[in-house]
Structure 1
Amino acid sequence: MKTKRNLIIFIVVVLLSGWLGVFVDRFITEQPKGDTLGMGIWLVLPLLTTILLRAFAGDGWRDIGLLPNLKGNIKWYVVSLLIYPVITSTVLLLSYIFEWMGFPDFNLDTIVSVFVGGLLIQFVKNFFEESVWRGYLTSKLSSLKINDFWLYFMVGGVWGAWHIPYFLVFLSESDIFSVLPVNRWLFALIGIVTMICWTVMYTEIYLMTKSIWPLVLMHMTEDALVNPLILDGYIKIAQGKEFFVSPTAGIITTLLYLMVGLILRTKRKKLEKEIVSKSTTTAIVKI
C-alpha cells in the first residue's frame, strides 16, 4: 500500500513538474534559450521527489541500484555501451545503401571529438535521470510483480509524458524539424511511443543487473552520439524518409531498439529459468 501511494505521488509530481516550469518561465524574461529556470525545475523536481519519498515516506534506499554489481554482469555493461552505436551505424548504412540519407558534412574525426567531449556532462546528467526512471520508478513498479509489458508501458509512458512540456514548449521548432518534419503535438506523440519502445531494453538490462550504472552508460552514449548527428547537421535525411530512418525516432530505428529489448527479455527469462532449475536441483540433492 505504501509503495502504491508513493508511486502515485511520484507520478503526479513528475507530470506536473514541466508545467510548473512553464508557468515560472512566463514571469521571468530574458533567460538563456534552452537553459531557463523552468527547464531546471522540470529536470530537477522528479529527482528531488524520489529523494524526499525515500527519506521521509518510507521508501528507503536499498533498491536504488547504486551498486555496480559487476560480477557476472560485465557483458551487460558492454552491451549497454554498444547498443546505440551499433543500431545507429546499421541505420546509417541501410540509409546510405538505399540513398535515403546523405553525409555532406560527415567528418569522423569531428564526430568522435564531439562524442568524447560530451561524455562527461552526459554521464552526470544521466546518472540523475536514471536514478529516477530506473532506480526509482522501474524498481518500485517491478516490486509490485506486475506483468512485464505493463511495466514497460507504465515506465515508458510516464517517462514520455514527463517530456510533453519539453516537446510542446521548451524544445525549439528548429530542433524538432531537424528530427522530424511534424508539428509539436505529433512530435510529442511520436516521442512518447519511441520512449515506450526504448524502455524495454532499459528495463531488461536493469532487471538483469539490478544496477543503474549500465543504463547511465547507455543513456550517456545515446545523448553524446545520436543527438549531435542530427542537431549538428552531420547527416542529411532525404525528404519523406525521416519517418523511417531518423536516428532518434524513425520507424525502422525504433523497431530495431524494440527488437533488442525483446531479445534481452528472452535472455533474462532463460537466465531466470536456469537459476530456478539450479536451485531446485540443489534442494533435491540436500534432501
Structure 2
Amino acid sequence: MTSTSPLIPVDELAAALAGPRPPVLLDVRWQLGGPPGAGEYAAGHLPGAHYVDLDAELAAPPGRAGRHPLPDPAVLGAALRRAGVSAARPVVVYDAGPATSAARAWWLLRWAGHGEVRVLDGGLAAWRAAGLAVSTERPADEAGDFAPAPGALPTVDADGAAELARKGVLLDARAGERYRGEVEPVDPRAGHIPGAVSAPTTDNLGPDGRFRSAAELVARFAALGADGSVPFGVYCGSGVTAAHELLALESAGVTGGVLYPGSWSEWSGDPARPAATGELPG
C-alpha cells in the first residue's frame, strides 16, 4: 500500500484489503453534537474495521486547553493497539464522508510517530457508492504493538498561533460565519484570532465529497498565502477540522504546516486574548 498521497481511493483500498499486506481499518465517525459514532458503526462499517472514539480516545477531556486537547499517549496507544495498529502495518482511517474526524485520526497517528497512515477519500459514502459490502460484525480486539512517540508533527500554542498570524499565515478552518463572528454555537466567544485568514474546510472537497485535485488545492491555498514560502499554521474550533486542512495541503504536496490543537475553544476561553470579527482587512 505504498503511496506518497495521504489519501486512498476506494478501488485502491479494496485491492489492498485483498492483498498480502492488508491495512488496519479504523472507523472514527464523529459529528459535533452527535449522533454518536459508535451507533453508526454498529449499524454498518467496512468489514474488519475497528471503531475508535474521537472524544474518549483521540482527545483528552475538555478543559482550559480546549474541547479536544491532544490525547494522553497511554490512552491513545491502548486504543490503537486494541484495534491492531502496529508500527510495521499500514493504517487506513475513515469516517462518514467529509473526512473531518478521519483527518484528526490521520494527523494524530502521524504526530504519534506512525509512518504509514492514509484516509479513505470520500469515506464510507464513497465505499457504499461503489457497491462494496459493509458489515455489522464487530471484530475481536487485537494485539498491536504501536507505542506512540508524540511530537513527530509540529504544534503551536496560543502564543505561537498569534505569532503565525502576525508573521506568517494562520488559516481558520471553521465555517465563514463562525470566522466572521456572526454565530458561535459552542465556544465562549464569537470571532477569530486577529490576523487569521478564513479557509473553510468545505472548500477542500468537490461536489462528490472527495478531495479536490492537487492542482485545485494548490491554487486554493496559494490564494490564501499558504504556498509553503512562509511559515503557516491552522486552527479551527477544537483541533479536529484543522487537521482536514493539513490533510488537504499534504495531498496537494504542501507540507510544513503546524496545528494549533487548542484552537478557538482554548483561545476564546481566555478573556485576555483578543477576538476579531468580520472579514480580514485587505
TM-score interval (norm. to shorter): under 0.3
Structure of greater relative contact order (alpha carbons < 8 Å, 6+ residues apart): 1
CA radius of gyration, larger in: 1
Which of the two has greater strand per residue? 2
Which of the two has greater helix per residue? 1
